[in-house]
Structure 1
């Protein structure tokens, strides 16, 4: 983590024991290293005590010298899949608030127990992703340019609470954690020793409560490694919004490239991804689509672009631009115009109406990448123009893939991404 810089370090603070422990550790680190700490608490509106919980979190943050901001989920509640919807909303709200505050990293207090519960859920068919200590925000496009740091994945929940109890600390126990209606709660209960119930699992303490072990959980706010697979450190041809990759790429790289080029939020899993990898291995040429992306295997290379046919079959509605504000179009492009009256649409179906110079610019792209390019139209009519002709336009695709493939391994790597500059591309450099 960077020291003595102006942008804050954000922290997701629920008020539960894990987040209270992380708040205490992070506050000490921030004070010693010249950093502001911004605690973010989400009120899901799912418990009648949520207002009291917010007040507790606010007070806890202020007691350690952290800034605090409360966030409220106001969206519709689905009849099914409520935990997943709440998780998606929580990540989106936290990401938006962190990015707006200038933060580049958000701390989350997941523990080894959370990771173990996730394994149980996946064994039962859940598509929940595995927890990693350093990973991109899962909210897209709200989390663009943001990384999550989970420094407590080596600490157990009991260890953390013993440490808190020894310090006389208080925390919130959400009764939903013991409700077997939810898959997470069932997974948690299944990991308990035989005969233990949810009410016996955790201590509920206040600042005057008894004694417990005094050893601090093993936590660190420093990154310990600098990268992973060799395919992610090789120079590869690329352009704005598309990738050319080798055929022998691994499943993680392929999945990440597909979701980034397609602009969606969920990476592909299961049979379709496995089948696509199997088709790549023999070496035959083919074209396929997955995750809103087009995969064209030709010789030794694979070209991955946005699938233009999808934009033609189901064209997205025009995205109006508010002067001076950045908007994200199709999950792939950040666009900001200074003048009113512009909206963003795909080039597909409009290329013939572009000016000669704009058509020439598109011809420099691979043919499959042209239809997914953003163009601007006037609300009052007139010919379309390429987005970069009339607005500040930057592709989010390359930086997003760099984050997904762990090529930005430190907070300092994120500065150009979060502030909208065009940095040297860490994904395609040695």
Structure 2
């Protein structure tokens, strides 16, 4: 029989609900996703979030990832399914299939989890995924960074760290201001159980927990994002959250332009920042992006030379199904038989009308634009002519820059995301 909630438990649930209210919409049809591992943090989040959802007119979809790393994992998934249904949430399971790496397992498992959760959230139409990280997780991550880890900062509101699977998705961590043991107290008063994964005692995370010994609450480690070290040349650092670390606004812009999620080495990024600050004209390539300064103007684009050095295979398109090409464009065609390739080497074969449109792009970027070729034909067509094309970089940069602070902002069109109405 559930115990009567204590005042502390009610106050905790109220604080978290206030954070959910500040970010999320009420009475809309799209669900809110929730990462449910079965541990005490995510189980407490499930309890609070489903209570909030009943008043907010929202549906919670819990997503559990079975990493296949423990013989008990199938039982854990069944426990998550039962807990979700008892709380009134829908439930989805995803499994990490295939061979597991012999080294770097925690990072690989973390990335696989984010990918699988992002894909499941997209399938059900969710744009926000709730994660149960706490103040203790923040302190442990900080301890791990001090001791050599490149794990990123945890933030209450940040874009998904995986690309392109996480495109357009935001992660919300409404428990960052709460202590782990307080959440377990809440579960005890509600008569709820949780899973203790023995693997948490291993790897660097377990070492951090033992080193801190429950001291996470002694300092205020959960109040908003903390920027990284300033880069030379007064380039403002930009913390993207877990999965993005070691860079700043410049580094994030580079990977958005290049269409991947691998930040460049900090020494090379710092060197580029210094050159930009000096103000002299130059052109440089870093992380698959081209940076060109001329006077006061800086243009950052995809580097066409990378497409020569590492050619992209033609991407066959399926009618009605959006496909991501080069991590930079989402392309949807209405009829079958098309494949997408870069315009590099094909510009002269475009029609005069298409070339006139391409000419509006910076010269260095023209070969990186997507063109379509019909099956049985060799004539390229600028992709916007025969498909719905969304440029992914503007929205990605907007989310990373903190311009989008609420779920409702995710529905608006970002400048540059779609072509202007007079383009064609």
- TM-score, length basis structure 1: 0.83
CA contact (8 A) 1:312 1:349 kept: no
After TM superposition, give the deviation of residue 300 of structure 1 in Å.
Answer: 1.4
**Structure 1 stretches of 4+ moved >3 Å:** 422-426
Alignment of 1:322-337 (within 5 A): 322-337=318-333
Paired with 2:262 and 2:126, the residues of 1 have a C-alpha distance of 24
Alignment of 1:22-421 (within 5 A): 22-179=45-202, 182-192=203-213, 249-251=235-237, 252-268=248-264, 270-416=266-412
Q: Deviations over 1:208-254 (max 9, x none)?
A: xxxxxxxxxxxxxxxx99x999xxxxxxxxxxxxxxxxx96523221
Paired with 1:424 and 1:281, the residues of 2 have a C-alpha distance of 27
Identify unmatched segments of 5+ residues in structure 2: 1-23, 216-222, 228-232, 238-247, 418-424
Tell me, what secondary structure is at the counterpart of 2:278? coil
After TM superposition, give the deviation of residue 188 of structure 1 in Å.
Answer: 2.0
C-alpha RMSD of matched pairs (Å): 2.1
1:215 is matched with none
After TM superposition, give the deviation of residue 76 of structure 1 in Å.
Answer: 3.0
CA contact (8 A) 1:13 1:23 kept: yes
CA contact (8 A) 1:104 1:415 kept: no
Q: Deviations over 1:145-201 (max 9, x none)?
A: 11000011111112222222233321001110012xx1222222221169xxxxxxx
Shift of the 54–39 alpha-carbon distance from structure 1 to 2, 3 Å rule, reads same
Paired with 2:235 and 2:214, the residues of 1 have a C-alpha distance of 42
CA contact (8 A) 1:16 1:172 kept: yes
Paired with 1:28 and 1:41, the residues of 2 have a C-alpha distance of 19
Paired with 1:381 and 1:76, the residues of 2 have a C-alpha distance of 40
Shift of the 193–103 alpha-carbon distance from structure 1 to 2, 3 Å rule, reads closer
Paired with 1:228 and 1:369, the residues of 2 have a C-alpha distance of 34
After TM superposition, give the deviation of residue 269 of structure 1 in Å.
Answer: 5.0
Paired with 1:111 and 1:425, the residues of 2 have a C-alpha distance of 36
Tell me, what secondary structure is at the counterpart of 1:190? helix
CA contact (8 A) 1:133 1:153 kept: yes
After TM superposition, give the deviation of residue 279 of structure 1 in Å.
Answer: 1.3
More displaced stretch, 254-263 vs 326-335 = 254-263
CA contact (8 A) 1:117 1:188 kept: yes
After TM superposition, give the deviation of residue 273 of structure 1 in Å.
Answer: 1.5
After TM superposition, give the deviation of residue 373 of structure 1 in Å.
Answer: 0.5
Paired with 2:151 and 2:340, the residues of 1 have a C-alpha distance of 33
Paired with 2:168 and 2:214, the residues of 1 have a C-alpha distance of 41
Tell me, what secondary structure is at the counterpart of 1:370? helix
Tell me, what secondary structure is at the counterpart of 2:368? coil
Tell me, what secondary structure is at the counterpart of 1:120? helix
CA contact (8 A) 1:43 1:71 kept: yes
After TM superposition, give the deviation of residue 138 of structure 1 in Å.
Answer: 0.7
CA contact (8 A) 1:38 1:67 kept: yes
Shift of the 269–116 alpha-carbon distance from structure 1 to 2, 3 Å rule, reads farther
Tell me, what secondary structure is at the counterpart of 2:403? coil
After TM superposition, give the deviation of residue 423 of structure 1 in Å.
Answer: 4.7
1:237 is matched with none
CA contact (8 A) 1:261 1:306 kept: yes
Q: Deviations over 1:320-352 (max 9, x none)?
A: 101110000010000011111111111111111
Q: Deviations over 1:95-150 (max 9, x none)?
A: 11111111110000001111111112222222211111000011111111110000
Paired with 1:44 and 1:410, the residues of 2 have a C-alpha distance of 31
User: Among 6, 20, 25, which residue is 1:2 paired with?
Assistant: 25
CA contact (8 A) 1:335 1:394 kept: yes
Paired with 1:56 and 1:193, the residues of 2 have a C-alpha distance of 27
Tell me, what secondary structure is at the counterpart of 1:281? helix
Paired with 2:376 and 2:322, the residues of 1 have a C-alpha distance of 21
Aligned residues between the structures:
372
Shift of the 412–425 alpha-carbon distance from structure 1 to 2, 3 Å rule, reads farther
CA contact (8 A) 2:313 2:341 kept: yes
Paired with 1:27 and 1:269, the residues of 2 have a C-alpha distance of 42
CA contact (8 A) 2:153 2:226 kept: no
Shift of the 193–153 alpha-carbon distance from structure 1 to 2, 3 Å rule, reads closer
CA contact (8 A) 2:394 2:415 kept: no
Identify unmatched segments of 5+ residues in structure 1: 195-223, 230-246, 417-421
